[in-house]
């Protein structure tokens, strides 16, 4: 049985609870009472809204380049392209609230009424469609947004839209067309117009934590990858992998046979009495040693 109360893991849980911004601040007491897997899910829902500074190759499809809104706002799109390729800090282009709303306690429901997903602390476009939304100006929060799917090496421009795009179906269609063009379709399943969800039905299902599909021509492609608590499927899997990594590695940090090769792998001498602690760098799971000030990335996130 994996003991979540091992000293390093208990401290890791405390550190995560301290790192997540809370509204109101008193809500932090809820975070400190959570078990580590739940804290990591809250952390991922918050921290994945930021994009780490890395050099990335921007990809723009023919569909994106032909879109009238792309053409209309091309100078701003081109400016963001240059900034992303240069690895600049993109925080000025993100919504102001993500630096403040990391954890918001769920609203109290009436007796016997089912509690829904607390979307106040989650990004629906990111969790459902793997799409960050950037304002087109760093100096003011514009209504126009650029939707981008980031990896560690690339940034795929999806569409220019606005804050209604993930509710009116335009983002779902744009993402689906990009996925269909890249070959991400559900093999052996064919479109049936009579069984197609409406935009409203698909949106309501996603807001209730249900993944959906959408037809593009004669193809069926995944539309939203979302879990029952509103966390993105990829984010949830990353949390599961982090817990498995913690369970495997934490006991080994007391074993010299594991620790010495760890330092040798980075060309650093192993301290006589290493003192390890767990930490998150953006959404990467790392372990670090205090006296040598050496950190090891054990489980990198996809961005």
Mutual angle of helices 199-207 and 170-181, in 10-degree steps: 90
Q: Omega into 82 within 30° of 0, i.e. cis?
A: no
- Counting Cα atoms < 13 Å in the Cβ hemisphere of 226 gives 30
Which tokens is 168 given?
């009116």
User: Alpha helix locations (H) across 132-266?
Assistant: 170-181, 199-207, 233-249, 256-264
Residue 97 lies in a domain: yes
Q: Is residue 292 part of a domain?
A: yes
Tokens 């990009």 found at: 178
Say what angle helices 36-47 and 233-249 make with each other, to 10 degrees. 130
29 pLDDT tier (thresholds 50, 70, 90)? very high
Which of the listed residues 182, 205, 226 is the one where a domain comes to its end?
A: 182
pTM summary value: 0.90
User: Do 177 and 264 lie in a common domain?
Assistant: no
**3-class state of residue 287 by DSSP:** strand
Three-class DSSP category at 203: helix
In a domain, 215, yes or no: no
63 within some domain: yes
Q: What is the pLDDT of residues 98-146, one digit of tens each?
A: 878 899 887 766 555 555 677 778 898 999 899 999 999 987 777 899 9
76 lies in the same domain as 143:
yes
User: In terms of domains, do 34 and 174 share one?
Assistant: yes
Q: Say if residue 45 is in the same domain as residue 144.
A: yes
Does residue 175 belong to any structural domain of this protein? yes
| Burial annotation 7-16 (CB, 10 A radius, 16+ → b, else e) | ebbeebbeeb
Residue 269 confidence (pLDDT): 95
Q: What is the mean pLDDT of residues 41-47?
A: 96
Task: Please tell me whether residues 22 and 143 are part of one structural domain.
Answer: yes
**Tens digits of residue pLDDT in 231-261:** 999 999 999 999 999 999 999 999 999 999 9
Asked whether residue 31 falls in the same domain as residue 156, the answer is yes
Are 265 and 172 members of one domain? no
Q: Is 136 helix (H, G, I), strand (E, B) or coil?
A: coil
Report phi then psi at 69, rounded to 5.
-75, -30
- Tell whether 136 and 285 lie within a shared domain: no
Residue 189 predicted with pLDDT over 80 = no
Q: For the chain, what is the domain count?
A: 2
Q: Which residue has the higher pLDDT, 195 or 251?
A: 251
Residue by residue, DSSP assigns 3-62 as -TTSHHHHHHHHHHHHHS-BSSGGGHHHHHHS-HHHHHHHHHHHHTTS------EEEE-H
- The reply to whether 143 and 57 lie within a common domain is yes
Same domain, 160 and 248: no
Residue 193 domain-assigned (yes or no): no
Query: What is the pLDDT at residue 211?
Result: 76
Is pLDDT at 196 greater than 90 in this prediction?
no
Q: Tell me, what's the pLDDT at 194?
A: 47
Note down the domain range covering 267. Answer: 234-299
151 or 216: which leads in pLDDT: 151
Pairwise CA distance, residues 191 & 183, whole Å = 16
pLDDT of amino acid 191: 54
Cα dihedral angle (62, 64, 65, 67), rounded to 10 degrees? 120
Q: Between residues 251 and 196, which one has the greater pLDDT?
A: 251
Q: Which residues on adjacent β-strands are paired with residue 143?
A: none
How many residues does this entry show for the chain? 303
102 and 122 Cβ atoms separated by less than 8 Å: no
Q: Does 196 map to a domain?
A: no
Pairing of strands 276-281, 284-289: antiparallel
Rounded to 10 deg, the angle between the 36-47 and 7-19 helix axes is 30
Bigger pLDDT: 60 vs 107: 60
């Amino acid at each position: 049985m994996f003991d979540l109360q091992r000293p390093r893991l208990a401290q890791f849980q405390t550190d995560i609870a301290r790192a997540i911004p809370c509204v109101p601040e008193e809500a932090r007491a809820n975070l400190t009472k959570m078990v580590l897997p739940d804290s990591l899910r809250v952390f991922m829902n918050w921290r994945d809204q930021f994009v780490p500074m890395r050099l990335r190759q921007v990809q723009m499809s023919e569909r994106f380049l032909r879109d009238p809104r792309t053409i209309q706002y091309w100078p701003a799109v081109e400016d963001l392209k240059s900034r992303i390729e240069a690895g600049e800090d993109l925080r000025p282009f993100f919504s102001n609230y993500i630096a403040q709303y990391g954890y918001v306690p769920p609203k109290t429901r009436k007796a016997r009424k089912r509690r829904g997903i607390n979307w106040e602390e989650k990004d629906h476009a990111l969790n459902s469609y793997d799409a960050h939304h950037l304002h087109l100006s760093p100096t003011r929060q514009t209504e126009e947004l650029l939707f981008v799917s980031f990896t560690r090496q690339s940034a795929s421009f999806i569409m220019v839209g606005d804050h209604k795009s993930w509710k009116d179906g335009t983002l779902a269609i744009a993402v689906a067309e990009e996925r269909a063009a890249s070959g991400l379709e559900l093999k052996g399943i064919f479109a049936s117009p009579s069984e197609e969800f409406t935009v409203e039905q698909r949106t309501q299902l996603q807001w209730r934590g249900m993944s959906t599909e959408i037809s593009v021509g004669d193809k069926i492609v995944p539309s939203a990858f979302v879990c029952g608590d509103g966390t993105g499927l990829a984010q949830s899997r990353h949390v599961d992998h982090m817990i498995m990594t913690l369970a495997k590695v934490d006991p080994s940090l007391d074993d010299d046979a594991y620790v010495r090769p760890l330092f040798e792998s980075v060309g650093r001498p192993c301290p006589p009495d290493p003192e390890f602690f767990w930490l998150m760098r953006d959404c990467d799971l790392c372990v670090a040693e205090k006296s040598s000030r050496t950190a090891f990335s054990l489980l990198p996130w996809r961005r």
